[in-house]
Each structure stands twice: as structure tokens, then as C-alpha cells.
Homo-oligomer: A and B are copies of this chain.
Amino acid sequence: MNELKNYYRKASTYSSAVALLYWDMQTYMPKAGGPYRAEVISEIGTYVFKLLTDDYLGDLLEKASPQNEVDDKIIKMGKKDYYKYKKVPPELFEEITMTGTVLEQNWEKFKPTGNFEELRPLFEKLVELNKKYADILGYDDEPYDALLDLFEPGMKAKEVEAIFEKVRDFTIETLRKIENVGEISDPFAIELDIERQRKFNEWLISYLKYDMTKGRLDISAHPFTNPIGLNDVRITTRYILSDAKNSIYSTIHEFGHATYALSIPDEFYGLPIGSSASYGFDESQSRFWENIVGRSLSFWNGIYDKFVEIFPEMKRYSLEDLWQGVNRIKRTFIRTESDEVTYNLHIILRFEIERKMINGEIKASELPLIWNELFEKYLGIKVPNNTVGCMQDPHWFGGAFGYFPTYSLGNLYSTQIYEKIREEIDFDNVVKNGDFDVIKEWLKDRIYSKGKMYQPAELIKIVTGKPLSHEPFIRYVKEKYSKVYGLEI
């Protein structure tokens, strides 16, 4: 068993290097270093892949004698991954990584132009590679399931579809109801200089008790969390002059991811159980902290004084004004700027598109056309260009298919967990008083400490006693937004 653990620990050092290479690429790397960096990430990423599919690991997994339940889980999860990836030729894996890294760099360059044609050839290649990948990984119902399983183990597209349909219909209806009330004015539509935004965000993470001996807050074009190594989990945010709430909620969101990663037991590090349960579960925590905690009236109770101290020009707004301001519902083009209600529509359309692309029902080259069509159908607004359309996110261009649905699954998990935690702790008061350790301990005990020992479908049952459902989310939206908008939803 020890030999097995040591092997994983060794492999984890290479993953750690890849994580740092990626983090650096997004934050501090000088531009001209890009092409070679792609080569480095691809080579070492492929080496990790080789280590995790090496016959020697297979032997260790087969020979290992588990001493307890944790060991059982290590072997079970380890075997699942091993036999899954074992089927994939390293050359295919390398080609996907390399193509994705190069295309993501191109995307960064061409996104402002909105010229999809510049990306199309490599994008088509990447979709084809992923279809091949799905075929090799194998599936029961449809190719897309094979990729979805990489991010949300055990989940099927059909199940996602069933839940997403409910959420979609409810959201479209809710939007209509809310828009009858009229728009809430936006107190944040004002220029607040970056220097003070930085200061506030740095205060904010210390208020949330993010341990800075184990983390960092940096700036990147797209905020992200990167577990770089044991006791080293970094977050980034971005500062937009005329939208201070963007940085605030990016920071809290990433803080949620980081809190999860930093709370997984040290002794799980590098092992098959040493990460979050799934991408969806990971997202449930970023969403939990961002929306359920961070966008609550209680939370603003705790940060209001500091906020107006740093931004005295905002004193003219009351606590309630600001709380309403961060909970405005509005149709937008950009996923990452959208509110927690319409957000799911952005995801559902991506899910539908990528599912069809991978299942071969639409061509990669048709992406802009189909995007614009579906976007108008769901969001009700006409996409003016690809920059704010199908080229807005890095995921697909980096090669991540099957990833997007986990964002909305995260929303759903988070509200279901919220209903449970409220049964057990005086949530509003805890948040108001900034006793975040009480919440962290609860989440650590129920979720974080379990690492990846369970599949998400099992874990949500263990934590809440029920299978995943869209209902808690709908109840959450009804309760909260009836107050925000002063109407019965």
C-alpha cells in the first residue's frame, strides 16, 4: 500500500509543476515565452499521463493490500482512473494537450477581434481529437458522456438534460416576472480606481480568513484557482474600473474553490482521493461562498462599513441598496458577468451545443451560427459579435468539453447543501458576524474532509440525505428574489 501511495506522491510532483507552469502562464509569464511554454506543459502533462497509465502502477493497484476504508477508496478510485486512461494512446493525449495549449494562446490573441475563422482550423481539429478521445474512453449512451465523466464522475448527459430543462423553463419564466417590476439601478456602475479595489479585495480575503501563508491573490484576465501543491492554493481575480463588484465576487468565488482544496486532508495529497469530489462539487463551493454567503444581506451587513470606508463615494447608498445592486438580474452576453439566476441559461446553451458537437450532430465550424441562434432563443438578446459570443470563454479552445455543465450542477448542489446547513446552524447570524470558520468547519466535516472518496451522486446523498434535485435551487431563487424585487415569484 505504501509503495502505491509513494508512486502517486511522485506523480503528483509533476502535476504540481504543470499547475505552476499554467498559473505562471496566466499571471506573470512574459508574452514571448508562450510558444515554448506550450511545449513544456505538453511534455510534462504527457509524462504525468504516462506515469498514471504505466503498467507498474497497474501492478501496484492489483497487489496493494488495503488496511482500512480509505485505502479501499484509494484503490477503487485509482483503478477506475487507471483502466480508463490506460486505453488512451499517449500520443493522442499529447496532441490534445498541445493543440489545446496553442489554441488557447491563439484565442487570447484573437478574442478581441471576434474573428472565429482565425481559430476555426485548430478548433475543428480539437473537436475531432476529443471525439476520438470519447470513443476510446467508451460510453453506454452517447459519446459526450465519456467526456462529461472526466469532470463529473458517473453523471450522464440524459440526467443533466432532465434537470437542466426544469431549471431553464423556470429561469425564463422568472426573468419575465422580474422584468415586469422594472430594473434595479446599479450602484456599481461607477469608476472606482483599481488601487482601492485591490485594497478592498485584500481586506476581503483576510476577512474571509483565507490563510495567506498557503495562498495568494493575483490578477489574471480570467479569474481562477490553482492548487499548485500541498499547502499552496492560489487564487486570482480581475479588476474592472467601472465594475468593482466583478472583482469582489470573483475573489469570493475563487476563495470558495481554494477553501475546498486547502481543507482536503494533507494525507490524501496526490492520491486518487486527494481532490474535490468532482468539478461540479468544486463549483458548488465557489458558488456557495460567492452567492449564498457573499450576495446575502447578512454578508453585506458585515462588510458595509469597510466598503464605504475605502469607497466613501458609495456612502450615499444604503446597505440594502448595495445588496440589491449585487443581486440585479439582467440579461447579459457574458457568462462571467451574469447574475446567479440567468447564469444557468448561459451554461445550458453551452451544454446543448458541446453535447451536439461531440455527438457529431453539429459541425465545429457552425459554432458561431448555432451559438447566436440559441443565445437569442434562451436569453432573448441578439449577439453582436463573437467576442461577446462564442469566443468569450477559454474552455473549448483549451480543449475542455464536458466541463461547462458542472458550473450549473455546482449551483444546484450548493442550494441543496444550503437547505441542509440552515437546518443545523443559525446561518444568517453566523454570516452577519463574520464567523466563517463555523461554516467552513461544517463544510469541512461533511464535504471537504472526504476528498474524492465518493462520486458526486453519492456525496450529495450523504451530505443532504437526498439525490440531486433542481427543487432547492428553485426554492432558493423564489425566497431570495421575492425579497430583492419585492414581488411574489
Contacts and interface: CB of A to CB of B under 8 A. Distances in A.
B216 A28 contact: yes
B231 A36 contact: yes
A24 interface: yes
A16 interface: yes
A39 B216 CA distance: 21
B33 A229 contact: yes
Interface residues of A, number: 37
A162 interface: no
Contact of A44 (B17, B39, B228, B232): B17
Nearest to A9: B39
A30 interface: yes
A181 interface: no
Contact of A33 (B17, B29, B43, B214): B214
B39 A13 contact: yes
A287 interface: no
Contacts of A307: none
A230 B36 contact: yes
A40 B17 contact: yes
Interface string A27-64: 01111110111011001100000000000000000000
Contacts of A402: none
5 tightest Cβ-Cβ pairs between the two chains A and B? A33-B232, A36-B230, A32-B231, A13-B43, A17-B17
Given A14-B43, A17-B20, 15 more contacts: A10-B43, A16-B40, A17-B44, A20-B24, A30-B213, A30-B214, A30-B216, A32-B213, A32-B231, A32-B232, A33-B214, A36-B230, A36-B231, A37-B232, A40-B229
Interface of A: 9-10, 13-14, 16-18, 20-21, 24, 28-33, 35-37, 39-40, 43-44, 211-216, 218, 228-232, 234, 269
